[in-house]
Structure 1
Amino acid sequence: MPHPYELVLNFRSKVPKSQQPQRSRSGCFNCRKLKKKCSEERPSCKSCQTKCIPCVWPSSHAKSMPKDYKIPPQDPILVTRKREAMHAIKKILPKATTLEEITKVQEAKLEACELELPSTPTTIKKDPETPDYRALDLHSAGRVQPLDELGLLLNDTASINWDQSPFQQHQQDTTNIDNENDPVSLSAIDNYEDQLPLWIPISTSRKETFITACAVGLISALAPQYTHPLLHASSTWTPFVKMNPIIERVTEASGCSFIAWEKPDLIPLAEKKYDLAFNELFGYIRTHELETKDHLWLGAAFQLLAVGSKTVWTFRDKRRIDNLKGSWKLIKARIAQTESSTSTSTSPISSLGISNISPSSSTSSKDDNSPESPPRGNFDDSTVASDYSNENLKMEVENSLLRNEYKDDLASRFERGWIEAFIYQYGMLLLIDDVDVMGLPTPFEVFSLVRKRIKRPLMNCDIAWMNHPVFGASFDAFELACKASYLMRHLDHEMTFMAAHKLYDVVQSYQLPQIPAEVVNNPESFNRNRDSALMSEVMLRAVKILLRKIINLRLDETDIVIQRDLEAALHKLTQITRCGQVMGISSWPLFILGLTAIKDEHRDVIIEGCMQYGEVCQARYIYTLIDTLKIAWGMRGDTYTTARGLNILLETEILDRLIL
């Protein structure tokens, strides 16, 4: 049965009429004769190119095909061109083992296309909704901006002498892995806030290939939701990838580790590049005085390293924790700067403790965060759960009042995705690690500080939740998931039972996201926002199951209420578009739902969802989740525990080996 929000009516109480499919009559005569779909590409469609036959098109005054029309025979000239093109590809393809040789294969394929197609240019239809970004010139003579001139993110850029940059001396002290580590200069772009660069997908060197992989692949996975074009990660994160040598090296390392999952030959190089970027970033923080305006490129570097740490084969959880600690200190510094009237743009971040972060520093203090001490943070009504209905209604009103007036700059748009990316990576740790021991804040502290900032719309979107580039409609559900995960790791605290009951009541009464009628009439916007709303309900069902387990630890996966929630969640999960971008935040609910699956058909749906998550995020660490689920299902043994089902959540030895 469809969900009520799928049957939303417009204000005239009429169901929107579906568009009737119209049969195209502008194809070539050959495709019409064969009764097959024509690509309608002039001067020759793809079917005629493959068959090497002349493509015959109807005239402007007579579009009907003659009754006695016959398909012409193969053209010997077209056959010869196609054979020459295929021979050129086969001559290089068997020898293509490195990235440089693969580039030659791509060039040969482009030449083959030029030989196969006539020289007549093809008209490309441009999507009117796609913003017209300015291309980024990688070979211009511009110079990288030093740290004291990072105002380029808020103002127009200006050429700075490279000899005066504080990065130069630090660059000479590092060890080069290959000969392609020299920084590439970034051309000056006027009106940086409005003219955002679009990354060039064709690279000319191995270094550019890694940077492109990070800009196009890894960064795009940071914001999986359907959002405003100016809030997408490609518009807010990509401008920083070559801002200075430090962030450029971080981007290169992240891109190399991203490709290494598909190219095992790059694994040793990816590990070396990641180690170099990690040590270089924290080494610069220790040796230089940082300004509060530096939070932009530092925040991007911390989050890229936090995400990239999971894609490196030699994964070490401490590195991800160090990067998340750095991001959290930057977030607190930024919020304190904007809310305090006495702070200026030149106040040092080091006063907030950012300079004390280093790979070798201890993760916590024995006095404040010892394992024996109770968890930090208040468990009162204001921190456990917020008034979600009123906040969402207020956000909808503010979103409608924005109209098309965009007053926020690139810094504000970047901060929205940066803070949400931190919350997601931080939330993945709460169920498998103890944040009190690691020195990270509790989720009650995090959301009480950033919630008002995140729930403020920046752009006028079709739906207010589109202002969340990472979570979409699932922001409230993920907040509840973070708090429930924290309570699961602190069952011995005296306030855990009360807080779990409070959160359970909130989940029971939470109003599911609704799609307005004007969005229903737009098929493309409706389908993408529908996926976000479905993922929100899936996550809420998983939160409800986890809270029910916290309230009564003797419950197992055979509970009737738990199985009812599981079936409802899997029903919504199967309605999400296959390999849709919203699957990029599905690892947490898939894990909780997988622990409660007792039927084979339910387990198959969970495994399929895990594979979709791995395909969307290019993350093979999803197999750690699958292995954990197989232990919970009794399909494989383990030397640490004999627990099954939801009782796996009580086994820290199993959770320590899980990567989410």
Structure 2
Amino acid sequence: MGACAVKGVVPKSSLNEFQLQKKQTSTFVFVYGNKRRKRDTQSVKRTESEKVSVKPVERASRQDQLDDAIFRKYVASLCSQSALLGFVYGFPGLISPKDAYIYDAFVNGFMVAVSTQLTHERLQPGAVFIPHGAANPWLLDVFYACGAAFLAASRKDMRELAESRMAKVMGQFQQVVTCVSFDSDNKWLVVALLSLALREKFYGLDGHRTVLFLKIAFQLIRNWPKTKLANSKHLEGLPEDIRSVISEQTWLLTPIERTLVESFAYNYSVIGLVLDQKSQFLLDSPFEVFDELQPLLDQQLYRCPAPWMNNPVMGAALPAFELASKAGWLQLHYPFDESMRHQAIALFRLAKYFVPPVLPPDVRFNQPKHVCKRLLDSCHAARIVAQGAYILLYKLLYPETLETESDIQRRISNFISDLEQLSFHSSISGILTWPFSIIGTAIVEKSQRDYMLWRLHNFGCAIKNSCFDSIIEFLNRTWDEGLGWQALLDKTNFDKLFI
């Protein structure tokens, strides 16, 4: 059982070609990434029986596949190290080979799939989430539910198990939440709620349930003493130099807190796309939420080659996801009244002139190419998310405009160019489901549509995430029915989509 639970640990000898490196210019440990390869531009026609044009895996660059796999194995080794901490204290409820198998799927499958960034290893989601399961039987049941969902995403025979494990968790949910004090150290519950929100991306269709998880998680986070201090009004009256000293001493986040805050912010940012207008009242406005979280999200806990390596979930795309969150919120209020229209115009300008981060010169010239590639992936992700926000806001503000508009198609071309930069099985695709869904509706050229579907299919295969199949179905339906870009104006078009 123990051997099964630590399956996926990568011996150092197997990483010789991708040796972890420590540069003199930084205290951060790096892992090999991947090299850029040009895509095969030949498109494959879709048939009635096969909506998705899937190119054989053999056509993709074997080096890209190897590089992506090695990165995931590196993350898996970090996750397994975190899992070992639990066995030191004794895992409650780990009593059968089936439990061990599902737990292994959680550690070396689920947590690896949701770890998309090259970040400081103490900020990695696996290093934050996994150890908490050692002390709480219900949280361990949550981990089992997530592991089973990861397996069910690609195995139909595991779906009954995934549903039963989730039913067990939800059967105790109300009692667990009711008994928790919102003013105590409740980070384990935030871990549970965010894990459940992420679980829905692998095997779930209940967006409203995800909203419940996020609503409670935010209530817990905003009651942390450090969150209250970060937003306390008395700091505003102090001189800047004194204020910064007091702030650093009194509400500097721990790595665990920093990762949890950003994980919440990401899940909160994308959920609005799949909600209807009635659901908007369940969550606070992102115009308020991000103001409240900004002092926490701005904190850089470690000295890293690129500042966005302190953003363990969204990386360089963190500010772009704020745009996306607000754009999705405005979509819930379409058609606009005068006040909403002014907000949309202001946000539209920010999205239009969004400038993504670039690699600092000392990183480009001093760090290994594989490190630069992973950091550049994050920059491409930032551009893709910002493009999605721009395209959504454009349609909401100018609903009569056709997707053939030159500005829109120019941005589609830019998007395809950024997508080409991402390798075949790029892990960062896991956070790009929101812009993929938005931008895909405005694609009109068949070759670009075929390429988009091919990339979505292979991203989903790589990280075992069912939401990519959901996006493929959504886009095929949108294109086949002739809706295209018009789909963004009617929220009912998103009823069967989950991201």
Relative to the length of structure 1, the TM-score reads: 0.58
- 1:650 matched to 2:486? The reply is no
Single out whichever of 125-134 and 596-605 deviates more from structure 2.
125-134
Deviations 1:388-428 (A, max 9, x none): xxxxxxxxxx9xxxxxx99999x721222222222222222
In the alignment, is the contact (CA less than 8 A) between 2:190 and 2:217 conserved in 1?
A: yes
- 1:243 matched to 2:139? The reply is no
Q: What's the secondary structure of 2:408's corresponding residue? A: helix
Instruction: Give the structure 1 partner of residue 296 of structure 2.
Output: 453
In the alignment, is the contact (CA less than 8 A) between 1:624 and 1:657 conserved in 2?
A: yes
In the alignment, is the contact (CA less than 8 A) between 1:474 and 1:533 conserved in 2?
A: yes
Structural mapping, 1:182-331, within 5 Å: 183-184=93-94, 205-286=97-178, 288-290=179-181, 292-312=183-203, 315-331=205-221
Instruction: Give the structure 2 partner of residue 529 of structure 1.
Output: 375
Q: What's the secondary structure of 1:237's corresponding residue? A: helix
Q: Distance in 2 between matches of 1:264 and 1:418?
A: 31
Q: What's the secondary structure of 1:294's corresponding residue? A: coil
Deviations 1:225-282 (A, max 9, x none): 1111111112222211222111111111111121122332222122111111122132
Structural mapping, 1:345-424, within 5 Å: 412-424=254-266
Q: Distance in 2 between matches of 1:531 and 1:586?
A: 12
What amino acid sits opposite 1:619 in the alignment?
N
Q: Distance in 2 between matches of 1:504 and 1:123?
A: 48
Instruction: Give the structure 1 partner of residue 39 of structure 2.
Output: none
Structure 1 alignment gaps of length 5 or more: 1-98, 107-121, 145-181, 186-203, 343-397, 399-404, 638-642
- 1:477 matched to 2:320? The reply is yes
In the alignment, is the contact (CA less than 8 A) between 2:403 and 2:442 conserved in 1?
A: yes
- Cα 1:135/1:239, change in 2 over 3 Å: closer
Q: Among 473, 476, 480, which residue is 1:630 paired with?
A: 476
Structural mapping, 1:501-580, within 5 Å: 501-521=345-365, 522=367, 523-580=369-426
Q: Distance in 1 between matches of 2:167 and 2:324?
A: 32
In the alignment, is the contact (CA less than 8 A) between 2:86 and 2:134 conserved in 1?
A: no
Q: Distance in 1 between matches of 2:210 and 2:123?
A: 25
What amino acid sits opposite 1:183 in the alignment?
G
Aligned-pair CA distance for 1:584 = 1.1
In the alignment, is the contact (CA less than 8 A) between 2:395 and 2:488 conserved in 1?
A: no
Q: Distance in 2 between matches of 1:124 and 1:334?
A: 41
- Cα 1:256/1:558, change in 2 over 3 Å: same
Instruction: Give the structure 2 partner of residue 430 of structure 1.
Output: 272
Instruction: Give the structure 1 partner of residue 20 of structure 2.
Output: 127
Instruction: Give the structure 1 partner of residue 330 of structure 2.
Output: 487
- 1:334 matched to 2:178? The reply is no
Q: What's the secondary structure of 2:118's corresponding residue? A: coil
Q: Distance in 2 between matches of 1:124 and 1:568?
A: 35
Deviations 1:16-53 (A, max 9, x none): xxxxxxxxxxxxxxxxxxxxxxxxxxxxxxxxxxxxxx
Structural mapping, 1:21-36, within 5 Å: none
Aligned-pair CA distance for 1:143 = 5.9
What amino acid sits opposite 1:230 in the alignment?
R
Instruction: Give the structure 2 partner of residue 170 of structure 1.
Output: none
Structure 2 alignment gaps of length 5 or more: 8-12, 23-28, 31-77, 233-243
Instruction: Give the structure 2 partner of residue 136 of structure 1.
Output: 84
- Cα 1:289/1:478, change in 2 over 3 Å: closer
Instruction: Give the structure 2 partner of residue 6 of structure 1.
Output: none
Q: Distance in 1 between matches of 2:386 and 2:125?
A: 26
Aligned-pair CA distance for 1:515 = 0.7
Higher fraction of helix: 2
Q: What's the secondary structure of 2:135's corresponding residue? A: coil
Aligned length in residues: 418
What percentage of residue pairs aligned between the two structures are identical?
25
- Cα 1:499/1:340, change in 2 over 3 Å: closer
Q: What's the secondary structure of 2:318's corresponding residue? A: helix
Instruction: Give the structure 2 partner of residue 115 of structure 1.
Output: none
Q: What's the secondary structure of 2:333's corresponding residue? A: coil
Q: Distance in 2 between matches of 1:447 and 1:550?
A: 22
Larger radius of gyration: 1
Structural mapping, 1:589-604, within 5 Å: 589-604=435-450
- Cα 1:494/1:617, change in 2 over 3 Å: farther
Q: Distance in 2 between matches of 1:506 and 1:578?
A: 31
Deviations 1:315-355 (A, max 9, x none): 3233212111111111111256651899xxxxxxxxxxxxx
Instruction: Give the structure 2 partner of residue 442 of structure 1.
Output: 285
In the alignment, is the contact (CA less than 8 A) between 2:203 and 2:466 conserved in 1?
A: no
- Cα 1:622/1:406, change in 2 over 3 Å: farther
Instruction: Give the structure 2 partner of residue 618 of structure 1.
Output: 464
Q: Distance in 1 between matches of 2:231 and 2:338?
A: 39
- Cα 1:550/1:294, change in 2 over 3 Å: same
Q: What's the secondary structure of 2:409's corresponding residue? A: helix
Q: Distance in 2 between matches of 1:598 and 1:407?
A: 53
- 1:468 matched to 2:307? The reply is no
Aligned-pair CA distance for 1:136 = 2.0
- Cα 1:560/1:279, change in 2 over 3 Å: same
Q: Distance in 2 between matches of 1:450 and 1:212?
A: 33
Aligned-pair CA distance for 1:474 = 0.6
Single out whichever of 264-273 and 591-600 deviates more from structure 2.
264-273
Aligned-pair CA distance for 1:527 = 0.7
Q: Distance in 1 between matches of 2:14 and 2:296?
A: 45
Measured on the aligned residues, the alpha-carbon RMSD in Å equals 3.2
- Cα 1:309/1:568, change in 2 over 3 Å: closer
In the alignment, is the contact (CA less than 8 A) between 1:219 and 1:233 conserved in 2?
A: yes
Q: Distance in 2 between matches of 1:569 and 1:257?
A: 31
Q: Distance in 1 between matches of 2:278 and 2:285?
A: 7
In the alignment, is the contact (CA less than 8 A) between 1:435 and 1:441 conserved in 2?
A: no
Relative to the length of structure 2, the TM-score reads: 0.76
In the alignment, is the contact (CA less than 8 A) between 2:270 and 2:434 conserved in 1?
A: yes
